[in-house]
Structure 1
């Protein structure tokens, strides 16, 4: 059976189990005992005094889009990234396991320290690798308490809980009933206890659904499989809705998000190829048909969840693949073609509900292609300079984000 890497550019694996600045072991939700989660190094900028409690409602810009970063915290601080690019990112992405022990939570605390100095919003991605059953009432209560403490320091959080739940590669994947119930329990506690934290629902891009062959794929004959068979023909295929069975409800969801990547133009993935024109927006709207495949059956994520449901839309992670070991197109040509799609005038004019875009700023090994990939827009000097020169005026940075109650 084939295990799909999304046809037009969705899923990437978690940015890694790499050695952090301080070695801290994972808690109950560990991916392999004894590994460590990459934690942020301390920012050298002085901390901002505690002056307010963050208000999640103030994070969404009235106009424009927050520009953020998924940073390799083990090798770069927010201050260094800010200095190198000449702007303070409005959003910084942090990953953590859940349940977590106190040592693991300290990685998030370290990120919060940097956010206080930088400003902006923390996008906290929580991964329940021990399975959804591990999300007990006690675990959820601890999480809500910890998030409240973060908010009381003036740092707003967008909580991306159990992302890519429609995929078959995570322990929480393709379990729609249990997922919705768990998400709603987390959301209820967070909304009640941590008003500076918003909930983000973020499925994987639907190209390649149902991602046959993954370890956690729903099995034919199971109750989950029946729920996922949205067209009722007895088989789960790409013709079924890849998002709807997992949607927890408008009262539980504040943000919606889908990560969109350019992995190349065709199989085998990972080659250095300039993206096709219009690919980014086609993926966002479920209209991509091109060299990477026919994804016309994928729902229009933006219209359904951003317009019809009325939620701010995020692209929590995006980048274009550049594999240094391979020939083909030049790094700048690939990445510039992609960011010019992401930040095009059309994006701003036609998609006003797109309120957050975060660049995946990593240089790392990718198991999907068995090679090292440089995803960064701020790596090579010529790429960085071109990236900064192309950033449009409608992007919003940390200084544009008010997170405090007035």
Structure 2
């Protein structure tokens, strides 16, 4: 709820004043109880004096000793002092680009604040994540079982309105001067309709029917997200005629509604913050009434990304929540303050806590998000940084967070209030172009329907060890470096550079024919100064695939290669071609028939039969995991099909024939000499 960021600014300023006072008072009141208390006091005075003189390189080791000393006290005062000095060290090490130490001190600062009963270290914890070096490699897959497993809850059931895979595209457009609430204009402006449109509504007001009417005009499958805000406090929320009428009015519009009641409850800038028991009671009440009165309403529980550690204390329970949301923004300055830069190389870490806690059982919605390309406070443009982060946000989600099923972009220029950030896409041509390009992917769904999925289903697996793929693979790295911008990402295959990328998502596409068995793919990350800052190597191999009339053959038993020949499970390929298949266990023989043609294979025998005639296979049939495997070319041609080889994607292509065909012997391969002669004679006289 970006409307309350002005309160966050005030709270932040008050907190800074409080911490300055706290530094002096707690330091005085938590005098060490050790025998050498005077020496610790002298050390603290020396450290502070040296730091005040600007000699932080000399003060740092002294402050580090103080951190350890105060932490070992095991008291609230000790942990508070340890947190304050850890923060000071984190800031110093970040300023001199010693990121390893900066991460260390930011993280322990957060831990000390938690020990002291506060969550004041959350922002610095996030900063630590931004400064950490991360390089994960994701590879594409069209395996439907894998995609279903990572996209579905552990219960195996879809929530209300949840798509099977992909995510709903959403937008807040009310203050977009070119669109407003005319949702039907979305396609002409952004190249695509949005599935969800955001509306804010006070709890004591009527149901916002005009938004629902506008959603209907945008077409079937369009819904709205309503941020219902009890601005007069939680006590106004009662099971009364007002709430019941609101729910019945919601039902009457007949479109999908995502109801986000009292969001950002974990932030002290909203009036419904603080009393967790009352909040849970009121959320459950709203959920109960909606279930009774408005079956087209899905309940969304949506904390803010910070403070992160208190959010779970407000969770109403699984039976009252359909979707779990999160509000998160990416901006150059924290709360619009140029003195508080928030530049980082990835905004997505703010999803981690909610995803870790709830994604295994609830679909995740990014209820509000925006990337500021300009701050009206200093008038500076941050286009390059904003485009980079917009790409990262939307590109990383399908790979790293497949349970995120909806995202709503906050499309507004905050020109006169709060953080003064400009999130409006049309205010920057490059941002608008980037957004249009990103959402053109079918992964971003433009209609709400339970069980919906993209036209082309592609999932992504994190590459841990050996990676195998068929036909083609897309490789997308997830990168975090301490610097604002990534210079380039370089790809090397078996020691040779094959491609460099300088813009997100830094991806690479490879064909199966380009990747020999056991290839080594190395990914190198460089900063803008040209220094290599991270690297990772994975083993990459490609498999042969089989297409029958353009459809890929899927088999539980993988294809195998013998002496350069591709062997396939004959039951799978026979049935795909439309042939009947039987198995004779006594004689270890498989029989297939189609259109009057009968062929027989005996395990281990290079001789096969076609309509009673002896023919020779390039490679004998064999039994693998209970499956009879035979050369794919022989099987395809023996039943009258045409067989071709695509070396680029390592694909055997079979074109079926509905009429009996003649067997061809275009490859003799490694057959024995006698087999070659017999086959040649048969070729001459048939």
Q: Which runs of 5+ in 2 are unaligned?
A: 1-8, 14-121, 127-157, 452-686
Q: Distance in 2 between matches of 1:325 and 1:169?
A: 21
Quote how far apart the aligned CAs of 1:376 are.
Answer: 1.5
Of the candidates 320, 335, 358, which is equivalent to residue 305 of structure 1? 358
Of the candidates 345, 360, 368, which is equivalent to residue 277 of structure 1? 345
1:96 equivalent to 2:201? Answer: yes
Partner of 1:4: 12
**Size of the alignment, in residue pairs?**
297
Partner of 2:303: 203
Name the Cα RMSD after superposition: 2.9
Moved more, 332-341 or 388-397: 388-397
Contact 1:272 1:323 in 2 (8 A): no
Output the TM-score relative to the length of structure 2: 0.40
Q: How does 1:147-296 map to 2 (within 5 A)?
A: 147-151=250-254, 155-207=255-307, 241-264=309-332, 269=337, 275-278=343-346, 280-285=347-352
1:341 equivalent to 2:392? Answer: yes
Q: Distance in 2 between matches of 1:150 and 1:117?
A: 12
Q: Distance in 1 between matches of 2:338 and 2:174?
A: 21
Of the candidates 173, 185, 190, which is equivalent to residue 85 of structure 1? 190
Which SS does the other structure have where 1:318 is aligned? strand
1:384 equivalent to 2:432? Answer: yes
Quote how far apart the aligned CAs of 1:388 are.
Answer: 1.1
Deviations 1:69-91 (A, max 9, x none): 01125842213333211111111
Output the TM-score relative to the length of structure 1: 0.66
Structure with the higher strand share, 1 or 2: 2
Deviations 1:197-252 (A, max 9, x none): 00000111124x6xxxxxxxxxxxxxxxxxxxxxxxxxxxxxxx311210000000
Which SS does the other structure have where 1:183 is aligned? helix
Quote how far apart the aligned CAs of 1:149 are.
Answer: 1.2
Q: Which has the higher contact order (CA 8 A, sep 6+)?
A: 1
Of the candidates 437, 448, 468, which is equivalent to residue 401 of structure 1? 448
Of the candidates 352, 355, 378, which is equivalent to residue 326 of structure 1? 378
Deviations 1:314-337 (A, max 9, x none): 111111222145255x44313211
Q: Distance in 2 between matches of 1:266 and 1:86?
A: 32
Q: How does 1:109-124 map to 2 (within 5 A)?
A: 109-119=209-219, 120-124=222-226
Q: Which is greater in Rg?
A: 2
Q: Which runs of 5+ in 1 are unaligned?
A: 11-55, 210-240, 286-299
Q: Distance in 1 between matches of 2:295 and 2:387?
A: 38
Question: 1:331–1:277: structure 2 CA closer, same or farther, 3 Å change rule?
Answer: closer
Which SS does the other structure have where 1:63 is aligned? coil
Question: 1:73–1:264: structure 2 CA closer, same or farther, 3 Å change rule?
Answer: closer
Q: Distance in 1 between matches of 2:125 and 2:438?
A: 23
Question: 1:360–1:351: structure 2 CA closer, same or farther, 3 Å change rule?
Answer: same
Structure with the higher helix share, 1 or 2: 2
Question: 1:84–1:350: structure 2 CA closer, same or farther, 3 Å change rule?
Answer: same
Contact 1:144 1:193 in 2 (8 A): yes
Which SS does the other structure have where 2:12 is aligned? coil
Q: Distance in 2 between matches of 1:8 and 1:388?
A: 33
